[in-house]
Amino acid sequence: MKIHYNQSGSGAPLVIVHGLFGTAENWGGQVRALADHFQVYAVDLRNHGRSPWDDRMDYAAMADDLLEFLDDHGLDQVMLLGHSMGGKAAMQLALSHPARVSRLIVVDIAPVRYPAHHNEVFDGLFAVDLTRITSRGDAEKKLAERVSDPSIRQFLLKNLYRQNGHFAWRMNLKALQRDYESIAAAPSAAGSYPGPTLFIKGSHSTYIQAAHQQAIVQRFPHAKAKIIQGVGHWPHAEKPALFTRLLLGFLQE
């Protein structure tokens, strides 16, 4: 599985991993800011963006893809940043191959199983008849019947593109829905990661809760946490300058 990536900057390597329904391109602003300090690799996970599609969608497979990416690029050790589903994939890699990760940043996710909460998103995406729409506006109107938040609709529609005169999704919706239980699950790797770890939480988000503290400390004993006030699940997009400052403060310690 040769995953797609964008590379910018120079210096110590930093790998960024997006979340569910996302792509490397979602991190463009952060990549530009961080490329002044690091060699930044923003990757597309399997079944997302421009990476290949595959029937398997679990954290062991995603971590194997990331490990293969590191090997292919001669990266013996990297700083690793993951958001949401990508945060779980990053945790899986750090837990299973701790020597390959010098520092770990996990954005708004915990190493626990979450209840299903993307049903409306899947319903909305599957309701878009790609053979009949003639514009992105058509797709948004159909999506709006089930996804009320306009910012989430715009995030999802970044996956829509034209192919041979027709629209298509860059994400493999069938595989993501079929393996959703695996995506909702906790990272499967055993043991703990001994390296420096930073968890970043949005104050309005419920993804990281006080009840998750024990699971975090057990698997990441040197973890510390930062809360960005006034943001939700996408702190890197909602307060990018503050997010960058937090990252640099941790990565340059």
Contact 70, 63 (CB under 8 A): no
Q: Is 233 a catalytic residue?
A: yes
Q: Is 4 a catalytic residue?
A: no
In the numeric block, which tokens belong to residue 105?
Answer: 């940043």
Closest by CA to 22, choosing from 142, 170, 162, 198, is: 170
Separation of alpha carbons 218 and 212, rounded Å:
10
Which strands form 197-202's sheet, in the order they lie side by side? 5-8, 39-43, 13-17, 78-83, 101-107, 197-202, 223-228
Q: State the amino acid at position 184 in one-letter form.
A: A
Helices (H), 99-188: 119-127, 136-144, 150-157, 173-178, 180-184
Q: End-to-end CA distance of the chain: give it in Å, rounded.
A: 34
DSSP 81: E
Q: Which of 18, 83, 233, 236 is catalytic?
A: 233
Q: Which of 51, 84, 96, 205 is catalytic?
A: 84
Residues assigned a catalytic role: 84, 233
